[in-house]
Chain A
Amino acid sequence: MATVQLQDVCKRYGGAGGLAAVQDVSLTVADGEFMVLLGPSGCGKSTTLRMIAGLESISDGRLAIDGRPMNAVPAKDRDIAMVFQSYALYPHMTVADNLSFGLRRRGTPRAEIERRVAATAEMLGLTEYLARRPAALSGGQRQRVALGRAIVREPKVFLFDEPLSNLDAALRVATRNELTRLHRRLGATMIYVTHDQVEAMTMGSRICVMNRGRIAQVGAPLEVYRNPADTFVARFLGSPPMNLLPARLRRAAGGSVALVAGAELPLTRWSDAALEGVAEASFGIRPEEMLLLPPDAAPQPAIAGTVASVEPLGAETLLLVDTAGGEVTARLHRDTAARPGDAVRLGIPSAAAYLFGPDGRAIEADRPAAGAALN
């Protein structure tokens, strides 16, 4: 199996002066790891993946697979397999021929080809479709053929470019689990591009969040979720996204406090030293951490506002509240009696607070953020 190393990789389209689609990407994917490249549309995920595949030249920087420099190695000699969003099945070939096309080229002995095609078809439940053409398959079956075409080659590295985005919701969840099992079973290095955070969170050993051609943050899914490196990551991961409110910081008797939406919120996660010299910041709180306080609640850190709308989703309820600092969303784990126009107070657990400096970077805390509070 294999490691994949990118070092200061850049991609500029249209010559040296061209616009950079990918900039200074440095990333090491460990052997057997499932690395997810996550980011909004146009952030350079596909471009990065295609550079690893050898479908796109690398403008600058180094790429190595298993320590071997790959910049100048053609795609076919990189020992990678790629699953395309469109599946890219050869329309004029049967499923069996689609699966064996790559092996035949490599001069694999016929018996071996047959064995591998049969095993792969078996694994993916495609055995009865081997004689069909792609046009006669359903979307999910085509997707599995595309997957099989990669598996049958037994490559060092699997590359996926949004392979599930053409499936319907139910099939997507099923295939997601299937892919995870497949990864465990093959133990192969996989790099997976998606803009779907649920896919990223559930499948990735680690995720690499990209923004405008650069890496914003790399880490285990929950680690990135709990400790977003900047406001972009904070808002990109999580649905609904993290609430960010402008805050002024002040040194008080018991420690620092943030003035947010007319309320004073204690900053218990940060030492005074950590907040040295910071006057203005963005105060972050995830919707699921906020509490809807009953009128008789004990005094605690909270902000006040007016309910703008209530969105019951069944298992949970989203509460949009207008506050002096802007609109915030609270995600309640049960139904609520609150109605639009009601004045409400939203509790802000200090342990779940985030601060981001004026440059958008997270202000490093001394105590870790607490997990989801109960409400």
Chain B
Amino acid sequence: MREQGRGDRLTALLRRGPLLAVLVLYTLYTTLPFLWVGAMSLRTTAEISADHYGLPSPAHWGKFRAAWVDSNFAGYFWNSTVVVVSAVAIVTVLGAMAAHALARYRFPGNRLIYFVLFSSIIFPPQIVLLSLFQILVNYDLYNTRTGLVLVYVSLQLPLTVFILEAFFARIPQDLFEAARIDGYTDFQIFLRIVVPVGMPAIVTTVILNFVHLWNEYLFAVVLVSDEDLRTLPVGIQRFMGDYFQDIGMIATGVMIAVIPVIVVYAFFSEKLIQGMTAGAVK
């Protein structure tokens, strides 16, 4: 009997072993570089050159202050916040409405619009970079936060609509009809049924869009040249000279940039789980 029980446990371990190994390896793979950068953010570049993998002792907390005040990270942070929060807000509102319309209403061209949106996900965004640049210049939006927001909205809208449409389409039609009989207009139904029931999907897109745009570099560097309008990913670049890279300060900048992402993720994934349990359509 005992032998049997041990054998069972062994087979269970053998069966779960590979899975555990993969999970452990993946966790190390994702967290170690992060911890490394975290350690470097508290060390000077000279210390880092002497020992790449050393621990931060003493910890130079003053580097954060230096980056924030002396290197204009406060400004970059503000620019990133304004641009990304506006873009994500607009994308979420527009995307949810568009997704609802595409998922729920039959009208000529519905699938055509869907297909056009869908196909724009497939193409790499870089191919529109130059034409976007020209368009922004023509409309006096080059080198403005507004211009960057508009570009970000258009970049993220297709994927957002795509994800939300798939989710909204699975909300049972009966719910809409019950609400219609209960006397609600189409727009009220959108606000009071679709948005709350679709909250898990909406939160997913918010996290996705926020993280992606917060880290966005290419469009930010091409479409904004003014030092005072730069966003964080571009701002970090100022520590990279042609001949010398201030690795220590880059790490500090990266940590400053990464903290909001973690906060947003933690806050919204809490909401995500709440929404999933509340909105469970049984």
Contacts and interface: CB of A to CB of B under 8 A. Distances in A.
Interface of A: 53-55, 74-76, 80-82, 84-88, 90-92, 101-102, 105-106, 133-135, 149, 153
A151 to B, nearest CB: 13
B282 A90 contact: no
Contacts of A149: 178, 182
Given A88-B177, A91-B280, A92-B199, 13 more contacts: A55-B181, A75-B177, A76-B181, A86-B174, A88-B174, A90-B193, A91-B282, A92-B196, A92-B197, A102-B182, A106-B183, A134-B282, A149-B178
B184 interface: yes
Majority secondary structure, B binding face: helix
A85 B277 CA distance: 23
B178 A82 contact: yes
B180 A75 contact: yes
21 contacts: A75-B180, A75-B181, A80-B181, A81-B181, A82-B177, A82-B181, A84-B177, A84-B178, A88-B175, A88-B177, A90-B175, A90-B193, A91-B280, A91-B282, A92-B196, A101-B179, A105-B183, A105-B188, A135-B280, A149-B182, A153-B182
Contacts of A135: 277, 280, 282
Interface in B235-279: 277-279
B196 to A, nearest CB: 4
A102 B183 contact: yes
Contact of B278 (A53, A105, A133): A133
10 smallest CB-CB distances across A and B, nearest first, come from: A102-B182, A88-B174, A76-B183, A105-B183, A88-B178, A92-B196, A84-B174, A135-B280, A86-B174, A55-B177
A92 B278 contact: yes
B281 A91 contact: yes
Contacts of A86: 172, 174
Interface in B160-178: 172, 174-175, 177-178
Nearest to A135: B280
Nearest to B281: A91
A92 B175 CA distance: 11
A291 B207 CA distance: 74
A76 B180 contact: yes
B278 A76 contact: no
Nearest to A56: B177
Contacts of A88: 172, 174-175, 177-178
A134 B179 CA distance: 16
A102 B181 contact: yes
Contacts of B172: 86, 88
Given A76-B182, A86-B172, A91 B278 contact: yes
Interface of B: 172, 174-175, 177-184, 188, 193, 196-197, 199, 277-282
A75 B188 CA distance: 15
Contacts of A75: 177, 180-181
A102 B277 CA distance: 24
B280 A53 contact: no
Residue in A81, A92, A106, A149 whose Cβ sees the most chain B Cβ within 10 Å: A92
Contacts of B280: 91, 135
Residue in A74, A85, A101 whose Cβ sees the most chain B Cβ within 10 Å: A101
Contacts of B174: 84-88
Contacts of A90: 175, 178-179, 193, 197
Contacts of B193: 90
Contacts of A76: 180-184
A106 B180 CA distance: 12
A85 B178 CA distance: 11
A77 to B, nearest CB: 8
Nearest to A146: B178
Contacts of B188: 105
A367 to B, nearest CB: 48
A14 to B, nearest CB: 11
A105 B179 CA distance: 10
A91 B277 CA distance: 10
Nearest to B185: A76
B212 to A, nearest CB: 28
A63 to B, nearest CB: 15
A91 B282 CA distance: 8
A74 B177 CA distance: 12
A72 to B, nearest CB: 15
Nearest to A105: B183
Nearest to A53: B181
Given A86-B172, A92-B197, A92-B278, A105 B181 contact: no
Residue in A88, A134, A153 whose Cβ sees the most chain B Cβ within 10 Å: A88
Nearest to B282: A135
A138 to B, nearest CB: 11
Contacts of B177: 53, 55, 75, 82, 84, 88
Contacts of B184: 76, 105
Contacts of B180: 55, 74-76
Contacts of B197: 90-92
B160 to A, nearest CB: 21
A102 B189 CA distance: 12
A54 B197 CA distance: 24
Nearest to A150: B181
B130 to A, nearest CB: 45
Residue in B172, B179, B277, B282 whose Cβ sees the most chain A Cβ within 10 Å: B282
B189 to A, nearest CB: 11
B228 to A, nearest CB: 44
